A = this chain, B = another copy of it.
Amino acid sequence: MKASARLSYKLRKNLVLAILLPFTIIITIYLTFFHNRGGSSSFTLNITKNRWTRETQASSSYLPFTSKFRIPKYSYKKVQNWMFNEHIDEIISEGHIAEFDLNKLHSTKDASINKEKVLILTPLQKFHQEYWENILQLSYPRELIELGFIVPRTQTGDLALQSLEKAVEKTQTDKKNQRFAKVTILRQDSESFNKLAEKERHALNVQKERRSSMALARNELLFSTIGPHTSWVLWLDADIVETPSTLIQDMTAHDKSVLAANVFQRYYDDEKKASATRPYDFNNWQESEIGLELASKMNDDEIIVEGYSEIATYRPLMAYFHDTTKPVSEEMILDGVGGGCTLVKAEVHRDGAMFPSFPFYHLIETEGFAKMAKRLGYEIFGLPNYLVYHIEETNI
């Protein structure tokens, strides 16, 4: 199965199929009109027949680029290839003129029904098979999902890249209707965002540097992958290994400009001798009076990072608002977000909201992004009872 998929993949890479169809047409015309004039073409015919059969089996009849010079005039409607039922719009080629009407690009609560494109972005320090399998079990139509990764230029980055490539190639060469619309993998040019080991990396004194380079990585990834067709951007960290399969439908249904899920972690409770869960991501918070007061006394270049006793902001943290007695759809207003599992309407980014690598109102990275989105006039929300899970630290 694997070998045949690879073969069909290679076949599609070259001219063979592009030539094949007209070839067959000619032969058919020839047979219809001239066949009685001699059997001399039977050799050619046999080859054609065989190829044609294989092509059909692989359901990979590729002539989708024949309409590439059709100009999409203010329309996101799918252009149907008259010969095969392939979706071929939005393929922008060299020399092509592409027009997009941003007014017809929507991010609505009926995202999948309206065929809104979702871009899932993941800075990838380490490849967890569980992360990939969780992506694969999402039920949002894959033809509407684009994936983007940025991998640090380190040894662990090399390993992560290898595993990622393998996983991606397997999916993207599998059945056509099971493929993601696009997968972009970036290799970071600047210094790594993963210089520090897991144990060190949560220490307060290294947070600023780490999160500053993480912000740069997120921006490089965002600017390189967001397109004029993108409706939603889902920031999903590489260590999020468990989400509901309806994650994208559930979150888009809230129709919020920025919406964060609550990141928890499964672990083994040694005392109770049982599996348990605990809050993990403390970057989703509401501003507090004390937080604002702390900020007002800081130098311009100082930052506040949440979740450290050294800086007690007494900010209400979404992680602690989880309440199993309340509906999972409950929303709360936030002022800061993390990047664990956060859905953003593409227009928020397109208006300019990025991840500041410098102190922005004494905030950086995802928390600075939240502040920037607010400065652009958007509201930020979180779902305290909608849980996604970070991988266990012991597995890292």
A: which residues have CB within 8 A of B?
A: 9, 12-15, 18-23, 25-27, 29, 34, 37-38, 40-41, 44, 63-70, 74, 82-83, 87-88, 90-103, 105, 143, 153, 165, 168-169, 172, 176, 179-190, 215-216, 219-220, 222-228, 347, 349-352, 354-358, 375-376
B93 engages A91 (CB within 8 Å): yes
Complex interface: chain B residues within 8 A of A352 (CB) = 215-216, 219, 223, 354-357
**Nearest chain-B residue to A143 (Cβ)?**
B94
Q: How far is the CA of A353 from the CA of B160 in the complex (A)?
A: 29
**Nearest chain-B residue to A13 (Cβ)?**
B69
Complex interface: chain B residues within 8 A of A355 (CB) = 352
Most buried by B among A102, A176, A349: A102
B216 engages A13 (CB within 8 Å): no
Excluding A18-B66, A64-B94, 10 further A-B contacts by CB distance (< 8 Å) are A15-B63, A15-B66, A22-B26, A38-B38, A99-B187, A100-B185, A102-B188, A216-B351, A224-B226, A357-B376
B176 engages A95 (CB within 8 Å): yes
Complex interface: chain B residues within 8 A of A94 (CB) = 64, 87-88, 90-91, 143, 179, 181-182
Q: How far is the CA of A27 from the CA of B27 in the complex (A)?
A: 11
- Write the nearest CB–CB distance from A166 to chain B, whole angstroms: 11
- Write the nearest CB–CB distance from A350 to chain B, whole angstroms: 5
Q: With A34-B40, A94-B181 as given contacts, are A187 and B18 in contact (CB-CB < 8 Å)?
A: no
**Nearest chain-B residue to A169 (Cβ)?**
B97
B64 engages A93 (CB within 8 Å): yes
B182 engages A347 (CB within 8 Å): no
- Write the nearest CB–CB distance from A21 to chain B, whole angstroms: 8
**Nearest chain-B residue to A83 (Cβ)?**
B15
**Nearest chain-B residue to A97 (Cβ)?**
B183
Complex interface: chain B residues within 8 A of A93 (CB) = 64-65, 91
Complex interface: chain B residues within 8 A of A99 (CB) = 165, 184-187
